[in-house]
Structure 1
Amino acid sequence: MSHKYVGGCEHVRTWADHDPIDNHTCHCSVCKRVTGQPTTHVVFFKHGDLSAANEHNMNRQPFNSENPGGPLELCTCKTCGAPIMLDDKQHRIRVIVPNLMGYQSRGLEATYHAFYDPKTGVPKPNDGRPVYEGLRPEFAWPAGS
């Protein structure tokens, strides 16, 4: 069966047939620390809209090592170590980073910059997309289960 968005690795496949609820370029320190990238293209799906085959083959660890009790877990493949997704223990969202989690960016382009902090000394992005100090103001967290 063909899916709209497909990623993961050869051992744990992920897919979604619904569009994401948020696409942004993240400037937060946690994403920088975890990915090693100066900014990270982040895509949020409603929890039930991103599925995974072979979830039993995923290791789960806190996404934010400075807040290990936080809601997000980084899921990696037990076999090859590839990052698969971020899973929300509250079942609100599942998150992918297209360039690290096997997804094509086409159709998942970031629409704004999130968590930009001018105190870091990094120049404010000027690519025409809105820049916010958090998530876009109209973003609403979906209900968890």
Structure 2
Amino acid sequence: MSNHKYQGGCEHVEVYSDAEPIDNHECHCNVCKSVTKQHTTHVVFFNYGDLKASSEGNMNRVPFNAENPNGPLEICLCKDCNAVLMLDDKQKRIRVAVPNVMNYDPAPGPASYHAFWDETKGYPKPDDGRPVYSGLRPEFAWPAGA
């Protein structure tokens, strides 16, 4: 891999950014739980044009949310090795990295807050000093799409 501020991917497709993320949270949503099989997922949003792939033609795309297959997010997978590369927004607002799933080295710093937590999850509210919200942080504004 080349030398970028943040980079991940696989031996066939490098995913990278030299820009800072616009959001960095620990996600508690059921879709992330279903897709990653993790209790919580470190999720990093970049402006759409700031997260790039070395070979976008070498990616297969599948719906992120099986219960909403026509939703805006798609999981991008390497056509050669099936590695998870990034989430791509069909509305071209954001691209998403999941550092521990997408082999980021270096990775954006730790999540700054907890998103999509609610008491129906069946586990205690996080108590690690970071803010906890029922959605994205209140001041988050979705970028304009293309």
8 Å CA contact retained: 2:5, 2:106: no
Alignment coverage as a number of residue pairs: 145
Cα distance in 1 between the residues matched to 2:106 and 2:32: 18
Q: Could you tell me which residue of structure 2 aligns to residue 17 of structure 1? A: 18
Residue segments in structure 1 that go unaligned for 5+ positions in a row: none
SS in structure 1 opposite 2:49? helix
Q: Distance in 2 between matches of 1:20 and 1:97?
A: 12
Matched, 1:135 2:136: yes
SS in 1 for 2:35: helix
- TM value normalised by structure 1: 0.97
Separation in 2, partners of 1:138, 1:41: 19
For 2:50 and 2:108, locate their aligned partners in 1 and report how far apart those are by CA, in whole Å.
Answer: 16
Q: CA–CA distance in 1 between the matches of 2:72 and 2:64? A: 8
Q: Which residue in the other structure is 2:69 paired with?
A: 68
Given residue 77 of structure 2, which amino acid in structure 1 is its aligned partner?
T
Q: Residues of 1 paired with 2:91 and 2:78: CA distance?
A: 21
Q: Name 2:41's counterpart in structure 1.
A: 40
Conserved in 1, the CA contact under 8 Å of 2:7 and 2:106?
no
Q: Which runs of 5+ in 2 are unaligned?
A: none
Instruction: Note the C-alpha offset of 1:106.
Output: 4.8
Q: Secondary structure at the match of 2:71?
A: coil
Work out the CA distance in 1 between the residues paired with 2:29 and 2:69.
17
Q: Distance in 1 between matches of 2:106 and 2:78?
A: 21
**What CA deviation, in whole Å up to 9, does each residue of 1:54-81 have, x standing for no partner?**
1111110100010001000000111111
Deviation at 1:109, TM superposition (A): 1.3
- How does 1:82-121 map onto structure 2 within 5 Å? 82-104=83-105, 106-121=107-122
Corresponding residue of 1:4: 5
Report the alpha carbon displacement of residue 53 of structure 1 after superposing the two structures with TM. 0.7
Compute the TM-score of the two structures, normalised by the length of structure 2: 0.96
> Which residue of the partner structure matches residue 50 of structure 2?
49
Paired-residue identity, %: 67
Residue by residue over 1:11-31, the C-alpha shift from the partner in whole angstroms, topping out at 9 and shown as x without a partner, is 010110100000000000000
More off after superposition, 106-115 vs 3-12: 106-115
